[in-house]
Homo-oligomer: A and B are copies of this chain.
Amino acid sequence: MKMHSPPHPGEVLKELCLEPLELSVTRAAEALGVSRKTLSAILNGRAGISPEMALRLSQAFGTSAESWLNQQMQYDLWVTEQTVGKLDVEKLSAA
């Protein structure tokens, strides 16, 4: 039913965390304790948010790690739904 893509967590991170604080990618990566490449990949949607990265974000920005992983989960699920074709699954329960 859901048709359009949930936002990639990297977009949210950029718009809600980096831009309001006027943080450069280089500076933010430094603060998070990861390489500039790693953060850049996330911001540009070429990598997801790992549990460890979620912890880093929560410590740096005072947000919850769950919220980041939740967004990532929604995004991954949407991508998978769009990607995989019909799965050959047999219905098992009555409901």
A73: B residues at CB distance < 8 A = 51, 66, 69-70, 73
- Beta-carbon nearest neighbor of A81 in chain B: B55
A17: B residues at CB distance < 8 A = 92-93
Question: Is A1 positioned at the interface, with any CB of B under 8 Å from its CB?
Answer: no
Chain A contacts with B in 69-95, Cβ cutoff 8 A: 69-70, 73-74, 76-77, 79-81, 84, 87-93, 95
Q: How far is the CB of A38 from chain B (nearest CB, A)?
A: 13
Q: Is the CB of A93 within 8 A of B55?
A: no
Q: How far is the CB of A47 from chain B (nearest CB, A)?
A: 16
- Cα-based distance from A80 to B52 in the complex (angstroms): 6
Question: Is A33 positioned at the interface, with any CB of B under 8 Å from its CB?
Answer: yes
Residues on A facing B (Cβ under 8 Å): 17, 21, 23, 28, 30-33, 51-52, 54-56, 59-62, 65-66, 69-70, 73-74, 76-77, 79-81, 84, 87-93, 95
